[in-house]
């Protein structure tokens, strides 16, 4: 496994691999790799000749109330995980390497951002698409892999690829879950034992919404109401939002007549948990293993 820290070196290697007709699978991360990242790396390893992952805590996607300096970092651990998952290249640039001078232009997301978590993270997704545009140009991937736990981010990246004609295929990898169904997250460690038991019901609530759609319910208001009531009656958490939107455009809809996302965010005492399910019109999951 090769560790690269310079943009020009990474770009030259990517160009050389292209000349050899090698396919490149790319897993962009901000490090502190966990089981969800392993799943992405594993999927990319299976589908490509070369596996590249990046570790870069991108300052552009941190808002004024989000502490960039406190974001967890463990480069030695990350390199070990990448090695265990048979990555060929780990790209670990510094901030100065990625942004040597102030940006002369900026990318601003117009759609898909003013809903769900994007409502409270102004400018976050502008930073996401900016760094990914740079990484796509540097690494030249054939395929890029993203976890669907953050389905809004995947939708935003889909718009970036579509609008700017990046020759890269996106792969959405289903959320990694505990046996109970609770979405795995680094934030789960902040839950008390009782909160953890209650949090299992977030996934059950989303499944209830899926069952309603499978049984012919098409009205958004009813689905959102029943999912919200289930969370309220089975947890002490405070609901940030429950919403049902078209996917991946994330537009409001009154009825389920196309692919949709049913998503929620719930506050517990020391953790905010997010989860979602993406269905087809008939209620069947859109992304499966």
Evaluate if residue 288 carries a pLDDT over 80.
no
Residues 107, 125: Cα–Cα separation, whole Å: 9
Evaluate if residue 71 carries a pLDDT over 90.
no
- Residue 89 token pair: 């290249």
Question: For residue range 188-223, what is the model confidence (pLDDT) as tens digits?
Answer: 888 999 999 999 999 999 999 999 999 999 999 999
Q: Which residues are annotated as a binding site for (R)-pantoate?
A: 61, 153
Residues 211, 109: Cα–Cα separation, whole Å: 33
Structural domains of the chain sorted by starting position, each given as residue range(s) with its CATH number in brackets = 2-173 (3.40.50.620), 186-279 (3.30.1300.10)
Residues forming the active site = 37
User: What region does 119 belong to: left with phi over 0, alpha with psi -120 to 50, or beta?
Assistant: alpha
Percent of the chain with pLDDT over 90: 88
Evaluate if residue 72 carries a pLDDT over 90.
no
**Residue 94's pLDDT band (cuts 50, 70, 90):** very high
Q: Which residues are annotated as a binding site for beta-alanine?
A: 61
CB 241 within 8 A of CB 219: no
Residues 161, 155: Cα–Cα separation, whole Å: 10
Q: What is the largest CA-CA distance in the chain?
A: 59
Give pLDDT, residue 24. Answer: 98
Mean pLDDT confidence for 70-80: 92
Evaluate if residue 120 carries a pLDDT over 90.
no
The alpha-helical segments, DSSP class H, found in 70-192 are 75-84, 95-98, 124-139, 151-163
Give pLDDT, residue 70. Answer: 82
Evaluate if residue 47 carries a pLDDT over 80.
yes
- Residue 29 sits at φ, ψ, to 5 deg, of -140, 165
Mean pLDDT confidence for 240-246: 97
Strand 2-4 with 89-91, pairing: parallel
Give pLDDT, residue 121. Answer: 85
This model's pTM is above 0.85: yes
Question: For residue range 139-166, what is the model confidence (pLDDT) as tens digits?
Answer: 999 999 999 999 999 999 999 999 999 9
- Residue 273 token pair: 């948990």
- Residue 31 token pair: 């490090």
Token pair 């990517």 is at which residue? 14
Q: Which residues are annotated as a binding site for ATP?
A: 30-37, 147-150, 176, 184-187
Give pLDDT, residue 289. Answer: 56
């Amino acid at each position: 496994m090769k560790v690269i820290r310079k943009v020009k070196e990474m770009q030259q290697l990517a160009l050389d691999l292209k000349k050899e007709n090698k396919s490149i699978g790319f897993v962009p991360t901000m490090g502190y790799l966990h089981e969800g990242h392993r799943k992405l790396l594993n999927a990319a390893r299976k589908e490509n000749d070369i596996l590249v992952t990046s570790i870069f805590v991108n300052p552009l996607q941190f808002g004024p109330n989000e502490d960039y300096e406190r974001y967890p970092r463990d480069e030695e651990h990350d390199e070990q995980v990448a090695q265990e998952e048979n990555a060929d290249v780990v790209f670990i640039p510094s901030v100065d390497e990625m942004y040597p001078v102030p940006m002369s232009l900026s990318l601003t997301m117009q759609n898909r951002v003013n809903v769900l978590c994007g409502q409270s993270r102004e400018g976050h997704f502008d930073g996401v698409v900016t760094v990914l545009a740079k990484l796509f140009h540097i690494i030249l991937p054939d395929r890029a892999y993203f976890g669907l736990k953050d389905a809004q981010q995947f939708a935003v990246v889909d718009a970036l690829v579509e609008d700017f004609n990046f020759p890269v295929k996106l792969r959405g990898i289903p959320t990694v879950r505990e046996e109970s169904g609770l979405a795995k997250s680094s934030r789960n460690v902040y839950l008390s034992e009782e909160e953890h038991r209650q949090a299992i019901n977030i996934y059950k609530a989303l499944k209830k919404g899926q069952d309603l759609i499978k049984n012919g319910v098409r009205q958004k208001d009813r689905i959102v109401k029943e999912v919200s009531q289930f969370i309220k009656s089975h947890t002490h958490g405070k609901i940030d939002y429950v919403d049902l939107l078209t996917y991946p455009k994330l537009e409001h809809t009154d009825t389920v007549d196309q692919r949709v996302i049913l998503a929620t965010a719930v506050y517990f005492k020391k953790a905010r948990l997010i989860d979602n399910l993406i269905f087809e019109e008939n209620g069947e999951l859109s992304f499966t293993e």
